[in-house]
Amino acid sequence: MTGTHPVISAEGLVKSFGSVRALDHLDLSIAPGEVHGFLGPNGAGKSTTMRVLLGLLRPDSGTVRMFRRDPWKDAVELHRRLAYVPGDVEIWPNLTGGEVIDMFLRLRGSYSARRRNELVERFDLDPRKKARTYSKGNRQKVALIAALAADVDLLLLDEPTAGLDPLMEVVFQDVIREARADGKSVLLSSHILAQVEALSDRISIIRAGAIVESGSLSELRHMTRTTVEVETAAPAEALAQQPGVHSFRTEDGRSVFEVDGDRVQEVMLRLAPLGIRSLTAHPPTLEQLLMRHYGEDLPPQDAPRSPQRASTAEAAPGQPPAPAEAAPAEATAAPARTSGTGRH
Amino acid sequence: MTATSHSSTLTVPPQDTPAEAGPGRTARPARTERSRRQSPLTGTGTLLRFMLRRDRIRTSVWVLGVGLMGFYFAHAIQLIAEDQEALNSLAPLYADPIGRMMVGPGFGMDAPTHERFFASGYALFVHILMALMTVFTVVRHTRAEEQTGRAELVRANVLGRHATLTAALLLVTGAVLLAAALVWVGAVTAGFDMEGSLLVAATSACTGLFFAGAAATAVQLSESSRGASAMAGGLLAAAYLVRMGGDAPEVGGTALSWASPLGWAQQTAPYVDNLWWPLLPLAGGAVVFTALGYWLSTQRDVGASLVPTRLSRAEARPALGTPLGMAARTLRGGLRGWGIALVLTALMFGAYAQSMVDAAGSLPPEMEQIFRGGDLMLGYLAFMALFMAVFAAAAGVSALQQLRGEENRGRAEFGLSAPMSRTAWLGAHLTVLIAGLVLILALVGAAMGLGAGLSLEEDGWSHFWDLFFAGLLQAPAVLATVGIVTALFGWLPRIAGGVGWVIVGFAGVMATFGSLLDLPEAVQDLDLFGHLAQFPAADVDWAPVLWLTGIGVAGVVLGLLGWRRREVNRV
């Protein structure tokens, strides 16, 4: 291990394909032994980043170091220490799954045959079938086993479970936890929020080629809004004008709003004199964090759909229509969750 | 609720009560009724239009290719043999046992005409091309779709169970009829007899449909499209081999000829007897196979096969864990296919040596001009060595295109994520490719020597080593082709394959027509294959051997340099 030096450190990466800017001053840092969730929708630049890290693409500008080496120049040396699972796994149709796994393990050097067979069993893969007859999920299993059975320090996983069923998703999460326990670092690109939330020590959210948020889940929560539901003796409408308060609305005599993480204190001080009868506050879910960054891409006609909202322009991002129908306690969390969890 | 409220609030779900249904909605119950009465063929028309759109270029190329091939044969014969005397002297080449083995029973060669030459010597290859077109088209639209999972997406729509197969067969039938019409036009414009030409075209069409039927059955049996193509293609190869054995012993063929669908096609004896009834077993076979295909398709699930997939090894052999082992597994299938085809052809060309000795002196001058050199027999074999080498170069170009495919499909990226350098990746593939091509050329030379040794009545074996060497001597031209395409792969990958095919195509044209075309020397010099000596008919000239090898080596080095510095792209 390289001690405290980051396993991956990228600064100001820029990469353009023709007129399209795939990476736009991207910064990324991953510490040894950390599982780093890399979140973003399709086309945000996750795969391009992976391919720069693998030394397959050369950035237009910026620096990138892996294990303190240049991935373009020292690709071979670096690749002894990492294993990669592509997002769209293509394997040689005339080889069996078992053959592909062995080929990669041998190319990568040291590995344990026992571990390989154990993973084949856990992922429920028939290694005797020719790859041309495999489904996407089975091809992904082949790449995952080849990566996870290898004796490497870093795993680069590009949407590794997009084709797997929920049972295999559970196996995958177990195996990644084991990898972390072994001291491996993992860069896990994904848009399955529950997976990233369950596995990651730190998270980076990428948007249009740049990292828009980075930190542990609790740090990110601090940086973003807390949802507050409060019942007060005096009307609380004035709070809507308070800086840091968003999406203020009144439901059944209670006020529901979101507060910026760093302004909770001020808002609480303003609330107290109003006579608090009941109060619940809960941190944002990962879905909310993500939707805050991506929701702004939603078409503007979203706004008139939720006329109940006090401040529609702020409320629109990421909020599916009609939150009023949800149970009050989950008023803000529920709609976002349904849109997020529906994916896996 | 009014219409305006519907359009203004998007959140309100459309509430369809019968009272509200406007004029636009009355179609709905009717549609439900129609879908209740759906047949196994529902959606065939839509699917057929989809296939036509998808394959508008591919199918056109196939149809034009078959048509042009017929046209070319019909017209080229008249260039090679200008008068009756020339025809008479060429006739034995088709009528003797080796000639019959290669092209068919040799009807009417006692009184040869251009049209009889066309039917006896060349129509078979039009039939074969037609059969390949139908097999590939049917497999592509049925099993290949199921294998990739796209069929599932399509079948999830309102689509009858037999719609896909029916649409594929309709597409292929249309293509076959068009191609056959073009063949007919080609023959008629060459001044051939109407009825005979129609028979040739009809035979071609029936052969095509026969193998379309065979493919319709094969796709039910195999889980992979390659397996299905191999099954139907294997039937075609078997048909060729059986009629070879049947036609060799006697003019007009023997009982064995009748055991082959290609034999039936040839027993129509166009321009001689003009028999139509042998088309019956062909057409009948097409119907039976097609019906079998439909029936079998009802006996299985979508995506499943009737022949269980064979399980293979669960663990790799030790050799696979190296770049060379990986490259060998990628390229060996293609090389093996080209190798087998070329070696068998070389064996037959070699076996033709005695016929060339017999025909010496009586061949038309145009023919002799193609086989430059003093001794006609050796000139012929030297020419054939060159011709085979052009095909070996084609194998090389297609392998390099395959490498580009590896890159585009992301397998190169995945492979390079292991600790394997760019140089190791491309170097290993090139090592396998070049070693394979040299081996093919050596085997081609040996096969020609073997064929000649077996067929020649006098001193057959004295030429063996010369012919072996003649095959190998073509390696520099093949290497130069590989070198140029590799250099482009490193620097301008998008055009590499295209340029490669231009080199090969130009060499093919120059080999067949170069001496007849009378092109300026500067143009002739562009042909990489035109510089090596016509060994064994002429002495070896080492200068071109050296500089062609030099081009090859330089190209490989340049290509490796480019590949090391360029990005691995998937687009």
What residue ranges do the domains of chain B occupy? Answer: 40-307, 317-571
- Using DSSP, state whether B19 is helix, strand or coil: coil
Over the range B86-122, which residues count as b (16 or more CB within 10 Å of their CB) and which as e?
bbbbbbbbbbbbbbbbbbbbbbbbeebbbbbbbbbbb
Q: Which residue of A has its CA nearest to B146?
A: A133
The residue of B152, B224, B309, B417 whose CB has the most chain A CBs within 10 angstroms, and thus the best one to mutate to test that interface, is B417
Q: Which residue of B has its CA nearest to A150?
A: B418
Distance to chain A for B200, nearest Cα, Å:
39
Q: For residue range A272-295, list pLDDT tens digits in order.
A: 888 888 888 887 777 777 777 776
Q: Residue B543: which pLDDT band, with cuts at 50, 70 and 90? A: very high
Pairing mode of beta strands A226-232, A254-259: antiparallel
Distance to chain A for B559, nearest Cα, Å:
17
Q: For residue range A41-72, list pLDDT tens digits in order.
A: 888 899 999 999 999 999 999 999 999 999 99
Residue type, B318: P
Chain A residues whose beta carbon lies within 8 Å of the beta carbon of residue B224: 93, 130, 132-133
Q: Residue B12: which pLDDT band, with cuts at 50, 70 and 90? A: very low
Distance to chain B for A129, nearest Cα, Å:
5
In this prediction, residues B61-76 reach a mean pLDDT of 93
Cα-to-chain-centroid distance, residue B25: 53
Interchain contact, A135 vs B315, CB within 8 Å: no
| B308: contact with A, CB 8 A cutoff | no
Q: What is the pLDDT of residue B361?
A: 67
Q: Which of A80, A99, A156 has its CB closest to that of B313?
A: A99
The answer to whether A10 and A29 are in contact (CB under 8 A) is yes
Q: Which residue of B has its CA nearest to A81?
A: B419
Interchain contact, B419 vs A84, CB within 8 Å: no
Q: Residue B370: which pLDDT band, with cuts at 50, 70 and 90? A: low
Q: Residue B481: which pLDDT band, with cuts at 50, 70 and 90? A: very high
Q: What is the pLDDT of residue B99?
A: 81
Distance to chain B for A322, nearest Cα, Å:
8
Q: Count the Cβ atoms, other than its own, within 10 Å of residue B512.
A: 15
| B266: contact with A, CB 8 A cutoff | no
Q: Which residue of A has its CA nearest to B226?
A: A132
Query: CA-to-CA distance for B429 and B424, rounded, in angstroms?
Result: 8
Q: Count the Cβ atoms, other than its own, within 10 Å of residue B18.
A: 9
Q: Which of A80, A99, A133 has its CB closest to that of B223?
A: A133
Answer whether residue B518 shows pLDDT above 80. Answer: no
CB-based burial label for A20 (10 Å; 0-12, 13-18, 19+): exposed
Q: What is the pLDDT of residue B570?
A: 55
Residues in chain A: 344
Interchain contact, B419 vs A127, CB within 8 Å: no
Query: CA-to-CA distance for B555 and B480, rounded, in angstroms?
Result: 8
Q: Residue A303: which pLDDT band, with cuts at 50, 70 and 90? A: very low
- The residues, any chain, with a CB within 8 Å of residue B359's CB and separated by 6 or more, are B89, B90, B92, B93, B376
Pairing mode of beta strands A35-39, A202-207: parallel
Q: What is the pLDDT of residue B13?
A: 41
Task: List alpha helices for A87-183, DSSP H.
Answer: 97-108, 113-122, 136-148, 166-181
Interchain contact, A103 vs B316, CB within 8 Å: yes
Answer whether residue A264 shows pLDDT above 60. Answer: yes
Q: Which residue of A has its CA nearest to B227?
A: A132
Half-sphere exposure of B408 (CA within 13 A, CB side): 10
Query: CA-to-CA distance for B210 and B217, rounded, in angstroms?
Result: 11
Q: Which residue of A has its CA nearest to B9?
A: A305
Chain B residues whose beta carbon lies within 8 Å of the beta carbon of residue A83: 417
Q: What is the pLDDT of residue B5?
A: 38
In this prediction, residues B518-544 reach a mean pLDDT of 88
In this prediction, residues B474-489 reach a mean pLDDT of 97
Higher pLDDT: A341 or A199? It is A199
Count, in order, helices (H) and strands (E) of chain A.
12, 13
Q: Which token pair is B175?
A: 């293509």
Higher pLDDT: B363 or B381? It is B381
Interchain contact, A96 vs B226, CB within 8 Å: no
Chain A residues whose beta carbon lies within 8 Å of the beta carbon of residue B322: 106-107
Query: CA-to-CA distance for B566 and B392, rounded, in angstroms?
Result: 28
Q: For residue range B238-255, list pLDDT tens digits in order.
A: 899 889 888 988 889 888
Q: For residue range B115-161, list pLDDT tens digits in order.
A: 999 999 899 999 999 999 999 999 999 988 888 778 878 888 888 88
Q: Which residue of B has its CA nearest to A71?
A: B417
Interchain contact, B417 vs A322, CB within 8 Å: no
| B323: contact with A, CB 8 A cutoff | yes
For chain A, percent of residues with pLDDT exceeding 90: 44
Q: Which of A56, A88, A301 has its CB closest to that of B568?
A: A56
In this prediction, residues B9-35 reach a mean pLDDT of 42
The answer to whether A102 and B320 are in contact (CB under 8 A) is yes
- Using DSSP, state whether A277 is helix, strand or coil: strand
Q: Which of B10, B411, B568 has its CB closest to that of A91?
A: B411
Q: What is the pLDDT of residue A7?
A: 94
Q: What is the pLDDT of residue B487?
A: 97
Q: Residue B372: which pLDDT band, with cuts at 50, 70 and 90? A: low
Q: Which token pair is A321?
A: 């229509």
| B84: contact with A, CB 8 A cutoff | no
Mean pLDDT of chain B: 86
Question: How many beta-carbon pairs under 8 angstroms link A with B?
Answer: 124
Q: Among A116-125, A147-156, B224-233, which is the least confidently predicted range?
A: B224-233
Q: What is the pLDDT of residue A295?
A: 63
Answer whether residue A177 shows pLDDT above 90. Answer: yes
Q: Which token pair is A157?
A: 């996983």
Q: Among A3-12, A144-153, A257-266, B193-202, which is the least confidently predicted range?
A: A257-266
Q: Among B38-42, B251-255, B558-562, which is the least confidently predicted range?
A: B38-42
Q: Residue B180: which pLDDT band, with cuts at 50, 70 and 90? A: very high
In this prediction, residues A202-229 reach a mean pLDDT of 84
Dihedral sign computed on CA atoms, order A262, A266, A271, A272: positive
| B402: contact with A, CB 8 A cutoff | no
Distance to chain B for A10, nearest Cα, Å:
19
Interchain contact, A106 vs B320, CB within 8 Å: yes
Answer whether residue A344 shows pLDDT above 60. Answer: no
Answer whether residue A27 shows pLDDT above 60. Answer: yes
Interchain contact, A126 vs B567, CB within 8 Å: no
Q: Residue A343: which pLDDT band, with cuts at 50, 70 and 90? A: very low
Q: Which of B312, B326, B410 has its CB closest to that of A96?
A: B312
Interchain contact, A130 vs B312, CB within 8 Å: yes
Answer whether residue B467 shows pLDDT above 50. Answer: yes
Q: Among A172-176, A189-193, B286-290, which is the least confidently predicted range?
A: A189-193
Residue type, B184: W
Q: What is the pLDDT of residue B523?
A: 87
Does an H or E element contain A39, and which? Answer: strand A35-39
Q: What is the pLDDT of residue B374?
A: 54
- The residues, any chain, with a CB within 8 Å of residue A127's CB and separated by 6 or more, are A96, A97, A98, A101, A120, B314, B315
Q: Among A301-305, B94-98, B446-450, which is the least confidently predicted range?
A: A301-305
| B330: contact with A, CB 8 A cutoff | yes
Answer whether residue B499 shows pLDDT above 60. Answer: yes
DSSP string across B429-474: HHHHHHHHHHHHHHHHHHHHHHHHHHH-SSSGGGGHHHHHHHHHHT
Answer whether residue B25 shows pLDDT above 50. Answer: no
In 3D space, the residue among B2, B202, B411 whose CA is nearest the CA of residue A88 turns out to be B411
Does an H or E element contain B373, and which? Answer: none
| B5: contact with A, CB 8 A cutoff | no
The answer to whether B194 and B115 are in contact (CB under 8 A) is no
ipTM metric: 0.74
In A216-341, DSSP assigns E strands to 226-232, 245-251, 254-259, 276-282
| B153: contact with A, CB 8 A cutoff | no
- The residues, any chain, with a CB within 8 Å of residue A278's CB and separated by 6 or more, are A230, A231, A254
The answer to whether B508 and B530 are in contact (CB under 8 A) is no
Interchain contact, A99 vs B316, CB within 8 Å: yes
Cα Rg of chain B, angstroms: 28
Residue type, A119: L
Distance to chain B for A152, nearest Cα, Å:
11
Q: Which residue of B has its CA nearest to A86?
A: B414
Q: What is the pLDDT of residue A336?
A: 36
Interchain contact, B313 vs A128, CB within 8 Å: yes
Count, in order, helices (H) and strands (E) of chain B.
26, 0
Query: CA-to-CA distance for A317 and A298, rounded, in angstroms?
Result: 7
In this prediction, residues B87-107 reach a mean pLDDT of 84
Q: For residue range A110-136, list pLDDT tens digits in order.
A: 788 899 999 999 999 999 998 888 888
Cα three-residue angle B428-B505-B191, rounded to 5 degrees: 150
CB-based burial label for A101 (10 Å; 0-12, 13-18, 19+): buried
Q: What is the pLDDT of residue B31?
A: 47
Q: What is the pLDDT of residue A333?
A: 35
- Using DSSP, state whether A69 is helix, strand or coil: strand
In 3D space, the residue among A145, A123, A134, A136 whose CA is nearest the CA of residue A95 turns out to be A134
Mean pLDDT of chain A: 81
Query: CA-to-CA distance for A267 and A104, rounded, in angstroms?
Result: 57
For chain A, percent of residues with pLDDT exceeding 70: 83
